Amino acid sequence: MTLGGFLVTAKTLDDLTAALAVMSDPDGNYWLGGNDLDTEGVFTWHSGERQIIDGTMWNPGQPDNSKGQEHCLVSFHRKLYDIPCHQYRTYMCEILL
Burial bucket for residue 11 (CB in 10 Å: 0-12, 13-18, 19+): middle
Residues 6+ positions from 69 with CB-CB distance below 8 Å: 84
Residue 85 CA to residue 43 CA, distance in Å, equals 13
First CA to last CA distance, the chain: 14
Query: What pLDDT shows up at residue 72?
Result: 95
* Domains (range + CATH), the chain: 6-94 (3.10.100.10)
Beta strands in 1-97 (DSSP E): 6-7, 29-35, 44-45, 72-76, 79-83, 90-91, 93-94
pLDDT at 2 over 70: no
Residues 6+ positions from 44 with CB-CB distance below 8 Å: 34, 35, 36, 38, 50, 51
The pTM score is 0.83
pLDDT in tens, 37-72: 988 988 888 877 777 666 778 899 999 999 999 999
